[in-house]
C-alpha cells in the first residue's frame, strides 16, 4: 500500500490542532502506521527542506519548523500521497479550498499547520529521514 509522510507543524501543535488533524486522517479511512512527537534538529530541518535552500524564505522556514515540537506520522492507504495533499489544501491558505485543513485553520503561508509529501520520491525520502523501518507498524 502507498505511504506518505505527514507532519503537524509547530503552529498546529501549539494551537492544539493535533487531534483535529489526526481525526481528519482517520475519518477519511487512512491508517497511521507510525507516529511520534519530536523536536526537529537543525540539520534534519535543513535536509528535509533541502529543495528550498537558497530561497528567501529558507532560513525562516527552518527556524519555524524547529521552533517547537512537531507530530510526525507515516500514513498509509490507496492514493494517500495525492489525497493527503488534497485534504491539506494549497500551500497559501488563502488559496486553499474551503474544507481543507489549511483553509479551515491557517491564515499565513509561513504557519500552515501541516506538511505532506508532494510525490512518491519525496514520500520515500521523508519517511526514511524521520522513521526507522522498525518504527512503522502496518
Ligand atoms: P510543505 O508541506 O511544508 O512542504 O508545504 P508545501 O509542499 O505545500 O509547500 P512547499 O514545499 O513549496 O514549501 C514548503 C513551505 O515553505 C511551505 O509550507 C511554506 O510554509 C513555505 N513557503 C513556500 N513558499 C513560500 C513563499 O513564497 N513565502 C514564504 N514566506 N514561505 C513559503
Ligand atoms: Mg513541500
ipTM score of the complex?
0.96
- Mark whether 115 is an active-site residue: yes
Q: Which residue has cell 479551515?
A: 104
Long-range contacts of 54-61 (CB under 8 A, 24+ apart): 57/110, 60/110, 61/110
β-strand pairing of 114-116 with 31-38? unpaired
| pLDDT at position 37 | 98
Strands laid side by side in the 31-38 sheet: 31-38, 70-76, 3-8, 114-116
What is the C-alpha to C-alpha distance for residues 19 and 127, in angstroms, rounded to an integer? 21
Q: How many whole angstroms from 102 Cα to the centroid of ligand 2?
A: 14
Q: What sign does the CA torsion over 60, 130, 70, 73 have? A: positive
Q: How far is the CA of 138 from the centre of ligand 2 (A)?
A: 25
- DSSP secondary structure letters along 75-119: EESTTHHHHHHHHH--SSGGGSPTTSHHHHH---SS--SEEE-SS
What is the structure's pLDDT at 138? 85
Instruction: Taking the CA atoms of 99, 57, 60 and 132 in sequence, report the sign of the dihedral they define.
Output: positive
| Residue-by-residue pLDDT tens, the chain, 138 positions | 999 999 999 999 999 999 999 999 999 999 999 999 999 999 999 999 999 999 999 999 999 999 999 999 999 999 999 999 999 999 999 999 999 999 999 999 999 999 999 999 999 999 999 999 999 998
Residues with CB under 6 A from ligand 1: 57, 61, 91, 109-110, 112, 115-116, 118
Residue 95: all three cell numbers together? 488559496
Cβ(8)–Cβ(114) below 8 Å = yes
Catalytic residue among 93, 115, 116, 123: 115
- Residue 118 CA to ligand 1 center (angstroms) comes to 11
Amino acid at each position: 500500500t502507498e505511504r506518505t509522510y505527514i507532519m503537524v507543524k509547530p503552529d498546529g501543535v501549539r494551537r492544539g490542532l493535533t487531534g483535529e488533524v489526526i481525526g481528519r486522517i482517520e475519518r477519511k479511512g487512512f491508517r497511521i502506521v507510525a507516529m511520534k512527537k519530536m523536536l526537529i534538529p537543525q540539520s534534519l530541518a535543513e535536509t528535509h527542506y533541502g529543495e528550498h535552500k537558497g530561497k528567501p524564505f529558507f532560513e525562516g522556514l527552518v527556524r519555524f519548523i524547529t521552533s517547537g515540537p512537531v507530530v510526525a506520522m507515516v500514513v498509509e492507504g490507496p492514493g494517500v500521497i495525492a489525497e493527503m495533499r488534497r485534504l491539506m489544501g494549497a500551500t497559501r491558505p488563502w488559496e486553499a479550498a474551503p474544507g481543507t485543513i489549511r483553509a479551515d485553520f491557517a491564515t499565513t503561508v509561513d504557519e500552515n499547520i501541516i506538511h505532506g509529501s508532494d510525490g512518491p520520491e519525496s514520500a520515500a525520502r521523508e519517511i526514511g529521514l524521520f522513521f526507522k523501518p522498525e518504527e512503522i507498524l502496518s
